[in-house]
């Protein structure tokens, strides 16, 4: 950028609209046909039908990853395993919130954010990660969906106690 100008503004041609052809030239605001939006929502519903299985498999993988991390505290692959736990938790959170398993999504998000902190010692991890896993397994097994209500509060309290113990 030259000294004379502090800001440059590029007024770009609307190539996307041009790509659709001349018939849309004068249309200010566009939309997609309601039936295709409905169809897209059906795809989400279809994915949600299999979501308990998907979440179940993710939880099994998460447990296996956690066991290997816990049992090999000096492994050079520890950081990589933590990253995998982070990614898997994030996926569970995405799937949970998409398919209205809010309580699992809540714990998955909490675990994702917890594992992202690198300054954790193993003792803290053993308690906290295990508490998250247990809570998610209970939600999955019992089919808890909402993140409100007495069961949800009880589980949240259990996980919070685990987190607070070392912080």
Partner 1 sequence: MQNSLITINRYLLSIFKKKDLPYDLSNFTILVVEDSEHMQNLMASMLKVFGVGEILACANGIEAMDLLRVLQASKKSKYLTSVDIVLMDWLMPRGNGEQLLAWIRKSEKDAIRFLPVIVVSGYTTEYIATKSRDMGANETLVKPISGTNLARRICSVIDHPRPFIKSLDYFGPDRRRQNVGYKGRERRATPAEEVKVKNNV
Which residues of the chain form contacts with partner 1 (CB under 8 A)?
A: 1-2, 4-17, 19-21, 23-24, 27-33, 36-41, 43-44, 47, 54, 83, 87, 90-91, 93-95, 97-98, 109
DSSP 28: S
Give the Å distances, CA to CA, from 10 to 14, 22, 109.
12, 24, 40
CB of 112 to partner 1, least distance (A): 8
CB of 78 to partner 1, least distance (A): 16
CB of 152 to partner 1, least distance (A): 17
* Nearer to partner 1 among residue 9 and residue 121 (C-beta): 9
Give the Å distances, CA to CA, from 166 to 37, 68, 78, 106.
47, 22, 20, 20
* Nearer to partner 1 among residue 91 and residue 151 (C-beta): 91
CB of 96 to partner 1, least distance (A): 9
CB of 48 to partner 1, least distance (A): 10
* Nearer to partner 1 among residue 83 and residue 151 (C-beta): 83
* Nearer to partner 1 among residue 47 and residue 64 (C-beta): 47
* Nearer to partner 1 among residue 38 and residue 74 (C-beta): 38
Question: Quick check: helix, strand or coil at residue 96?
Answer: helix
Greatest distance between any 2 Cα atoms in the chain: 67
Choose among 17, 117, 125: nearest CA to 70.
125
Contact by Cβ (8 Å): 89, 109: yes
Phi and psi for 72 in degrees, rounded to 5? -125, 70
């Amino acid at each position: 950028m030259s000294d004379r100008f502090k800001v440059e503004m590029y007024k770009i041609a609307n190539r996307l609209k041009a790509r659709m052809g001349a018939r849309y030239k004068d249309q200010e605001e566009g939309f997609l046909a309601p039936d295709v939006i409905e169809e897209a929502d059906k795809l989400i519903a279809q994915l949600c039908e299999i979501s308990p299985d998907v979440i179940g498999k993710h939880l099994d993988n998460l447990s296996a990853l956690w066991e290997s991390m816990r049992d090999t505290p000096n492994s050079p692959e520890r950081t990589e395993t933590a990253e995998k736990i982070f990614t898997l938790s994030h996926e569970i959170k995405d799937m949970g919130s998409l398919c209205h398993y809010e309580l699992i999504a809540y714990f998955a998000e909490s675990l994702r954010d917890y594992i992202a902190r690198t300054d954790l010692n193993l003792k803290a991890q053993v308690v906290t990660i295990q508490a998250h896993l247990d809570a998610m397994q209970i939600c999955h097994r019992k089919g808890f969906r909402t993140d409100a209500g007495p069961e949800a509060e009880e589980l949240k309290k259990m996980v919070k106690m685990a987190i607070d113990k070392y912080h």
